[in-house]
Amino acid sequence: MKLIMRWYGKDDPIPLNYIKQIPVISGVVSAIYDIKVGEIWPLEKILKLKEEIEKSNLEFEVIESVPVHEDIKLRRGNYVKFIENYKQNIINLAKAGIKCICYNFMPVFDWTRSTLNYLHEDGSISLAYFKDEIEKVDVKELSLPGWDESYNKEEITTLIKTYQELGTEGLWKNLELFLKEIIPVAKEHGVKMAIHPDDPPWDIFGIPRIIKNEQDLDRFLKLYDDIHNGLTLCSGSLGCSTSNDYVRMVEKYGEQGRIHFAHLRNVKILDDGSFIESAHYSPCGSLDMVKILKAYYEVGFNGYIRPDHGRMIWGEQGKPGYGLYDRALGAMYLGGIIETLEKIKGNK
């Protein structure tokens, strides 16, 4: 297992050498952020990013994310060109030594939360999802934390309607057709594709969402039964539904060699199914990090792990979920568990 940290490129306020100072971290996962969704990432840009990362003695083997254009998900408009571009991106990334690409197939919004600024009793701040608040949101009036600037009112209304008409089965079909095009390319170039589950794992605003639970993951993996078609198993996304057994998923899909990337964070699930993002430490949330890492360890997982969203602590201000301090605490905690597991088994 390799412990890595997300880095948002040159606009990230966290310098690479700060990340390097976290002892357990061996590399970063990043992306090209200044190219429009759907377009080709020039090889020179990727190589420049790699050079910058490697200058800080960090590895660069994982991308999060190469975003999938809405036209591909809807199979409309310029989808043929965008799929060709996606393939070219896989090829370019492989040339730069990238081994794993994380992406998602969530319509319209990636993650959804009702607040980015939930104040905990200890003064720390995190993202949270309160069901009653999301139910009250009128998406047409668009005030959804994190997404307010992504679309205008008219675009959002049309887009949501188009997805509602496409429906769940339509979205599955489009995902299958996309996989049939890109996985052979990934295979040829030795890149492992790792889909991220829907966050949170349930339908929102009547928009279809299809990567939510074990049944969906089984169906997804069968769509293209090859190791290059794999998973980013995100504990905070899948684990915020009490009907998902994340540990069982690690055992099952880990055994099949289909997990390539693990996002690890904790969530506190409330009685009504709402959740608050918490510190990684097990007693702070509803997920048991020791059980989770034990499952990864015992299944012989050799992919990438990253600490996921952190709280804002010690007065830090920054990108919600992606400050330095709490993610660094999370990384050290995860690293400590891994070291313990290895030493108990006498492997180190």
Closest contact distance (angstroms) between CB of 346 and ligand DNO is: 35
Q: Which stretch binds ligand DNO (CB under 6 A): 80-88, 96-104, 182-190, 243-251?
A: 96-104
Q: Taking a C-beta distance cutoff of 8 angstroms, is the pair 197, 238 a contact?
A: yes
The residue within the footprint of ligand DNO, chosen from 35, 45, 54, 65 (CB under 6 A), is 65
**Active centre residues (catalytic):** 196, 234, 263, 308-309, 322
Q: Are strands 27-30 and 2-6 parallel, antiparallel or unpaired?
A: parallel
**102 lines the binding site for ligand DNO (CB under 6 A):** yes
Measured from the CB atom, the residue of 111 and 296 that comes closer to ligand DNO is 111
**Token duo for residue 115:** 């607040």
Q: Which stretch binds ligand DNO (CB under 6 A): 102-110, 216-224, 239-247, 294-302?
A: 102-110
Q: Within positions 254 to 293, which residues make up the interface with ligand DNO, using CB under 6 A?
A: 263
Closest contact distance (angstroms) between CB of 127 and ligand DNO is: 9
Q: Within positions 170 to 199, which residues make up the interface with ligand DNO, using CB under 6 A?
A: 196
Closest contact distance (angstroms) between CB of 348 and ligand DNO is: 30
If we measure between CA atoms, which residue out of 115, 132, 153, 134 comes closest to residue 311? 115
DSSP codes of every residue in 176-208? HHHHHHHHHHHHHTT-EEEEEPPSSSS-BTTB-
DSSP designation for 313: -
Helices assigned H by DSSP within the chain: 16-20, 43-55, 70-74, 79-95, 131-136, 153-188, 214-223, 235-238, 246-255, 289-298, 325-344
**294 lines the binding site for ligand DNO (CB under 6 A):** no
Provide the residue type at 160 as one letter.
Answer: I
Closest contact distance (angstroms) between CB of 111 and ligand DNO is: 5
**310 lines the binding site for ligand DNO (CB under 6 A):** no
Sign of CA dihedral 236, 238, 242, 246: negative
**79 lines the binding site for ligand DNO (CB under 6 A):** no
If we measure between CA atoms, which residue out of 63, 57, 46, 56 comes closest to residue 99? 63
**214 lines the binding site for ligand DNO (CB under 6 A):** no
**103 lines the binding site for ligand DNO (CB under 6 A):** yes
**Token duo for residue 14:** 């966290």
Measured from the CB atom, the residue of 73 and 294 that comes closer to ligand DNO is 73
Measured from the CB atom, the residue of 160 and 195 that comes closer to ligand DNO is 195
**Token duo for residue 204:** 């929102």
Binding site for ligand DNO (CB under 6 A): 64-65, 102-104, 110-111, 196, 263, 309, 321
